[in-house]
Each structure stands twice: as C-alpha cells, then as structure tokens.
Amino acid sequence: MAEFLLLAALLVLLMTALGLVRLLRGPGDADRMMAGQLLGTGGIAVLLLGSTISEPAIADAALTLALLAAFASVAFVKYGGGFGRQRAAERREGEGE
C-alpha cells in the first residue's frame, strides 16, 4: 500500500511541476492565479498522502494550507481582478496616443 501512495504522490508532484511552468509563463493574471491554486492543491495532496504513510499530524498542516488557498482566491477576485482591468485600460490609452 505504501508503494501505491508513493507513486500517487510522485504523480501529483509531476502534475504540480507542470503547473509551475504555467505559473511562470502564464499570459494573464488569472492564469497565474489558477496555476498558484494548482500548486497549493498539489501540496495539500502530497501532505495528505504523506500523513497516511507517516505522521497523522501533517493532515492539520494540509487543512490549514487549504484554508489559506481559499482565502487567496477570494482576495484575488476581490482585489486582484481590478488591477488587470486597470492595466488593460492603461494599455488602451497608451495605444490611442
């Protein structure tokens, strides 16, 4: 069973690494935020898989990270989305000159 969980954790880490590429090369703020959420979700999954193998207290850290990720999404929607619209308006003004 431990081998299966280790394989699952490696697969999650591989998918998370692919999300890191999107985080670094994402064309927009929303793409980068979604890639950041993927990194957080992957980290939580690895911690939960690790807690089944070794220390059960790691699950508390994973749940705390999940809560912080939810707050980060809400903060992005509330505050970060306006910056993207602001930049787009500034670009349009710059092209008009």
| Residues 17-59: tens digit of each pLDDT | 888 888 788 787 778 888 888 888 888 888 888 888 788 888 8
Gap between the Cα atoms of 90 and 41, Å rounded? 34
| Number of folded domains that form the chain | 1
Measured N-to-C along each axis, helices 81-96 and 29-53 cross at an angle, to the nearest 10 degrees, of 150
Quote the pTM value: 0.67
What is the per-residue pLDDT across 3-16, written as a single tens digit (0 to 9) for each?
888 888 889 888 88
CA dihedral 86, 88, 93, 97 (to 10 degrees): 150
Range of the domain at 80: 2-96
The torsion angle over the Cα atoms of residues 81, 88, 41 and 22, rounded to 10 degrees, is 180
